[in-house]
Homo-oligomer: A and B are copies of this chain.
Amino acid sequence: MQLLTSTQTDEDIERKFSRRISMLRRSCVRDIMSQTGCGSKLINFAAGQPDPSLFPNKTISRISADILADAHEQPLQYSSTEGYAPLREFITENFLGDMGIKASAEQIILTNGSQQGLDLLGKVFCDPGDTLIMDAPTYMSAIQAFELYQPRFRTLPIWEDGPEIAELRHILRRGPAKFYYTISNFHNPTGVTASLGNRRQTAKLLNETGTLLIEDDPYGRLCFDEECRMPTITSLSNGKNCVMMGTFSKILAPAFRVGWIFAAKEIISRLGVAKQAGDLCSNQFAQRIVWRFLKEHDIESHIVSLCERYRQRRDWMIECMAKFLPCEVHYKKPGGGMFIWAELPPHLSATELLQRTLKHGIAFAPGASFFAETPIESSLRINFTYEDRQNTKKGIRIIGEEIRKMLK
């Protein structure tokens, strides 16, 4: 082969990219975040952001000082890939213990938010062409994370009591799947809480077929209505054949990027090698802050305050939606979590609606991105935890006005 000639064009660069990245969809929510930054004037119903006024900045400041003053520790050094051991123990003893799951700290790996966990699980399990079962709709960034590993997605519709078990059975009959990914508590984006019966059936079916469950539980603790408090599918399976994911992003602060995965030791070991290759280790300073907060403060009463605030915000959001949205828009009040899922009349596009509302400085997440297979273009996801009463009222009023214009 002759040496090629000199100057690079954009096309040359395009040609160099991998097939997987060329096919990958962008996250509309992250793109909105990147363009606007946080603290911008945008009324933002798009992302799953906590209310920043509930971040315990003062306590974190004192804890940071304590950690940095401790001469026996090296909080600014590299650390182990699997993460800060006392925090892994806390998660095992408390969070898993409270669910009735017996586990050891070696069954936990700490990740950079849950999102890194999704990437690691994709790396560790998914070969090109493998079947992954997802809900339709489901968390858009889970689709994005797994899509990089070129799977074939199969999807289950979600109803009021959870994902459709008959369809899960049908898919599993047709051939093996690497795993089924779901969010049983306050499902993202639909807000649905799977019923106890639905969970039991899921657990049974996966166990019978030897199919791995990935149960993502970022919102389980943000429970506003007692009747929605439900055992996880993982606890109903005694942890067998299950991977469970949690995060401190929603109950403490997202910036620390501390999420966790619970799984069998063999799986944690493989996730550990993937994490070695992916970033060597996480920020142990952040992991130590989280651990000290858990140890020295009453996380339970902090969660009670969060739920109190978010329950009010949900109720206010529902009130605004009832008042300002035309009756052709359908939605349900979720029992917890961060989101309300809404459906416009089927001939309307939520992406077009977003283009219109962005001109007024109002963002939400169009629903199409939440489908791994055929999207429902008329759906949208609205976050209710971030904006205050005034912005919520203004934002929903304008969204309502724009929908009415589109209906004409």
Contact call A3/B208, Cβ cutoff below 8 A: yes
A124 to chain B, nearest CB (A): 5
Contact of A3 among B38, B148, B173, B270 (CB under 8 A): B173
Chain B residues with CB under 8 Å of A8's CB are 210, 240-241
Task: Answer yes or no: A104 CB below 8 A from chain B CBs.
Answer: no
Contact call B256/A285, Cβ cutoff below 8 A: yes
In the complex the two chains form, what is the Cα distance from A173 to B1 in whole Å? Answer: 6
Contact call A4/B209, Cβ cutoff below 8 A: yes
Chain B residues with CB under 8 Å of A236's CB are none
Task: Answer yes or no: A33 CB below 8 A from chain B CBs.
Answer: yes
Task: Answer yes or no: A312 CB below 8 A from chain B CBs.
Answer: no
Contact call B26/A276, Cβ cutoff below 8 A: yes
Contact call B6/A207, Cβ cutoff below 8 A: yes
In the complex the two chains form, what is the Cα distance from A172 to B1 in whole Å? Answer: 9
Contact call B78/A144, Cβ cutoff below 8 A: no
In the complex the two chains form, what is the Cα distance from A285 to B64 in whole Å? Answer: 12
Task: Answer yes or no: A357 CB below 8 A from chain B CBs.
Answer: no
Task: Answer yes or no: A186 CB below 8 A from chain B CBs.
Answer: no
Contact with B along A195-228 (1 / 0, CB 8 A): 0000000000001111010000000000000000
Chain B residues with CB under 8 Å of A76's CB are 52, 55, 57, 60, 253-256
Q: Which of A109-117, A294-302, A332-340 contacts B (4 or more CB under 8 A)?
A: A109-117
Chain B residues with CB under 8 Å of A4's CB are 176, 208-210
A12 to chain B, nearest CB (A): 6
Contact of A73 among B16, B39, B68, B141 (CB under 8 A): B39
In the complex the two chains form, what is the Cα distance from A301 to B123 in whole Å? Answer: 42
Contact of A68 among B20, B57, B281 (CB under 8 A): B57
Contact call B78/A38, Cβ cutoff below 8 A: yes
A219 to chain B, nearest CB (A): 15
A105 to chain B, nearest CB (A): 13
Task: Answer yes or no: A149 CB below 8 A from chain B CBs.
Answer: yes
Task: Answer yes or no: A101 CB below 8 A from chain B CBs.
Answer: no
Chain B residues with CB under 8 Å of A21's CB are 123-125, 270, 273-274
In the complex the two chains form, what is the Cα distance from A127 to B19 in whole Å? Answer: 7
Given A20-B127, A112-B282: A81 and B210 within 8 A (CB)? no
Contact call A141/B266, Cβ cutoff below 8 A: no
Contact call A77/B61, Cβ cutoff below 8 A: no
Task: Answer yes or no: A50 CB below 8 A from chain B CBs.
Answer: yes
Contact call B283/A147, Cβ cutoff below 8 A: no
Contact with B along A234-247 (1 / 0, CB 8 A): 00000011000000
Contact of A50 among B18, B77, B279 (CB under 8 A): B77
Chain B residues with CB under 8 Å of A49's CB are 77-78
Point out residues on A near B: beta carbons under 8 Å.
1, 3-6, 8, 10, 12-14, 16-21, 24, 26-27, 30, 33-34, 37-39, 47, 49-50, 52, 55, 57-58, 60-61, 64-65, 68-69, 72-82, 85, 112-113, 115-116, 119, 123-127, 130, 141, 144-145, 147-149, 172-176, 178, 207-210, 212, 240-241, 249, 253-257, 264, 266-267, 270, 272-274, 276-286
Given known contacts A1-B175, A27-B276, what 15 new A-B pairs fall within 8 Å (CB)? A3-B208, A4-B209, A24-B274, A34-B272, A52-B76, A76-B254, A77-B253, A78-B254, A115-B277, A123-B148, A141-B276, A255-B283, A255-B284, A257-B279, A285-B286
In the A-B complex, list the 6 residue pairs whose CB atoms are closest, starting with the nearest.
A76-B253, A61-B68, A55-B76, A144-B277, A57-B68, A64-B64
16 contacts between A and B (CB under 8 A): A5-B210, A8-B241, A10-B266, A16-B178, A21-B270, A26-B273, A34-B80, A34-B81, A37-B85, A49-B77, A49-B78, A55-B74, A76-B255, A77-B253, A123-B148, A145-B277
